[in-house]
Amino acid sequence: MRCYAASFALLGFLLSTDVAWAGQGQVCKVLPQFLDKKGRQSLAPSLYERDAYQFYLRKHPQLRATLHVVVQYKAKGVDWRKTKLRAELRGLVTNSLQTVTLEEPVKKSGFFGSWAEFNITGDKFKEFGELVAWRVTLWEGDRQLSEQESFLWTGVPLRTP
Question: Which of the pair, 23 or 139, is modelled with greater confidence?
Answer: 139
CATH code for the domain of 65: 2.60.40
Asked if residue 14 belongs to a domain, the reply is: no
Q: Give the pLDDT confidence score for residue 43 in this predicted structure.
A: 94
E strand map for 4-106: 24-36, 64-76, 83-93, 96-105
The answer to whether the pTM exceeds 0.85 is: no
Q: Give the pLDDT confidence score for residue 109 in this predicted structure.
A: 79
pLDDT in tens, 96-129: 888 999 999 998 777 778 899 999 999 999 899 9
Distance separating alpha carbons of residues 28 and 30, to the nearest angstrom: 7
Asked if residue 156 belongs to a domain, the reply is: no
Asked if residue 59 belongs to a domain, the reply is: yes
Q: Give the pLDDT confidence score for residue 154 in this predicted structure.
A: 86
User: How many structural domains are present in the chain?
Assistant: 1
Asked if residue 13 belongs to a domain, the reply is: no
Asked if residue 16 belongs to a domain, the reply is: no
Contact 73, 116 (CB under 8 A): yes
**For residue 18, pLDDT beyond 70:** no
Distance separating alpha carbons of residues 113 and 109, to the nearest angstrom: 7
Q: What average pLDDT is seen over the chain?
A: 86
Asked if residue 124 belongs to a domain, the reply is: yes
Distance separating alpha carbons of residues 139 and 146, to the nearest angstrom: 7
In order of 21, 75, 93, 97, 147, the CA distances from 117 in angstroms are 29, 17, 24, 23, 16
Asked if residue 104 belongs to a domain, the reply is: yes
Q: Domain range for residue 46?
A: 21-149
Distance separating alpha carbons of residues 123 and 138, to the nearest angstrom: 27
pLDDT, mean of residues 8-33:
68
Asked if residue 132 belongs to a domain, the reply is: yes
